[in-house]
Structure 1
Amino acid sequence: MEIQSKGMEEGEKSPEHKDLLPSQTASTLCISSRSESVWNAVPRNKWDIYHKPIIILSVGGAVFLFGVAITSLTCFTASRVANITKEAFKLCGPAFLSLGLMLVVCGLVWIPIIRKKLRQRQKYHFLQSIKSFFFNR
């Protein structure tokens, strides 16, 4: 085993080695990674940056209002309504309330996270420009 490895180290290449192409997966992964595209991306407008949290906030608000409507419907309905329907409303109302509130909170938390990432990106570009100014002379 050791004899073969010494022979390979001295310059002998196996026939399988000649057939293999050099791997470029590391460079491909670095180029296509999210971190590279985030740092090198062109500036975008506010809608492109904040559209996902705004959509989540809107959907969460709509679901929350729907939950409020269903919950209030159970309070104001007469006893003439079938018992099964009233029980279904009693169960679904709070479920929609909690789901809507959860989506609203997720959207509200997401916005400061995006702002923080934008500030970090600006600092990164500023530091890169200073670094290139001093080291490229």
Structure 2
Amino acid sequence: MEENFKRNQDFITEMNTIKIERQLQMRKQFRDRIIALEIAKARELFFWYGSFYLISLAGALAGYYYYYRYRYKRKLITLAPLVPLSFIMAYQADLAYGNKIHRILVEAEHIMQFEQELLALPLGIPTAASIDLGRLQKDEQKKLHPLLPPV
């Protein structure tokens, strides 16, 4: 009787450990996907910022040149605010009506397949043992310093 109880208890403990490890692995995979999507979004936005920067730089240089060459003629400087606003509108239109989401998903899949080092956790995947160790350390800390707030 006692042997069956011990075997059942060991089985339940093993199943709980497996369950925790599966949950940790599942959370890591979800986190990897979210991080890959965020990196892909940042890369896509960088292309837009780069384009805006280059066009603004070219416009500034051209404006400097034309200002000194044709300063007595009518200036187009009043249209300058249209440049950043045009980029913002084009970015939002691409996001809403274009295939930007598809490009972001493709880039995220590329990151997950070929750039796994970007998704690595600082100390690796936590294990059931490391979680139990952290819990035991926290309990020990509570026993030693009961009045300190938990960290």
TM superposition score category, shorter chain reference? 0.3 to 0.5
Q: Which has the higher contact order (CA 8 A, sep 6+)?
A: 2
Query: TM-score of the superposition, structure 1-length normalised?
Result: 0.39
